Chain A
């Protein structure tokens, strides 16, 4: 049975905001990684994407995103998009919630990741996303960094938690 084990602490962004959230020195002792993100950014819009990078690298990312906003659905190519967040114009005190799954993160193959996420809101339009992503790099992942895509800061009370999946 797979077991979730939290690695490090849950990050809660303080009043001044944070430009990014960085999990470093990730041990390679688990099978898979899971990042759970509850995000809001200072982008002047109802939503923002959150970008991921591994080991400090922003290169060699590709992906495909399916999204729906309550009225229409579409798919787009992506690179480092890995979560949905609310923006500054979204309903107050709402966040975007996503889970990023990174299988075999310490192996020697290229690293894939999958994402599902939804946006909280009291408005009609709200995004739900699914992403299939790939980091074409064979290095073991020892660092995961989350960054707002257009906004410059995560807003207060955004959180991120990292878990290792153990086979036993």
Chain B
């Protein structure tokens, strides 16, 4: 069965269920890819930041907890 969308016409109150167009299916796929990429980028940035912090703490001879305490 083809995927459908639910449309509420707020002017008439009519509710209908229609099949997605090819363009809408394409958009949906693009949205999912963009979302996954954004999440992956954020996770990578967070991991790099944590790694950089750990490297600084190491250079200073501090534990990560001690370093965090300095900026608390």
Complex Cα–Cα for A63 and B43 (A): 17
Number of interface residues of A (CB under 8 A): 31
Min C-beta distance of B31 to chain A, whole Å: 6
Knowing A19-B3, A19-B20, A19-B28, the reply to whether A8 touches B13 (Cβ < 8 A) is yes
Whether B8 lies near A8 (C-beta < 8 A) is yes
A153 on the B face (CB < 8 A) = yes
Complex Cα–Cα for A110 and B57 (A): 44
Whether B32 lies near A149 (C-beta < 8 A) is yes
Whether A21 lies near B35 (C-beta < 8 A) is no
List residues of chain A with CB within 8 A of the CB of B13: 8-9
A147 on the B face (CB < 8 A) = yes
List residues of chain A with CB within 8 A of the CB of B11: 25, 27
Complex Cα–Cα for A18 and B3 (A): 7
Complex Cα–Cα for A23 and B27 (A): 18
A139 on the B face (CB < 8 A) = no
Summarize B's interface: helix, strand, loop or mixed: mixed
Complex Cα–Cα for A27 and B27 (A): 26
Whether A23 lies near B8 (C-beta < 8 A) is yes
List residues of chain B with CB within 8 A of the CB of A70: none
Min C-beta distance of B14 to chain A, whole Å: 9
Whether B15 lies near A11 (C-beta < 8 A) is yes
Knowing A76-B42, A152-B28, the reply to whether A19 touches B4 (Cβ < 8 A) is yes
Checking A13, A16, A24, A77 against B8 with a beta-carbon cut-off of 8 angstroms, the contacting residue is A24
Whether B5 lies near A20 (C-beta < 8 A) is yes
List residues of chain A with CB within 8 A of the CB of B15: 8-9, 11
Nearest 4 pairs between A and B by C-beta? A25-B11, A8-B8, A8-B10, A19-B3
Q: Which residues of B approach A to under 8 Å, CB–CB?
A: 1, 3-13, 15, 17, 20, 24, 27-28, 31-32, 34-36, 38, 42
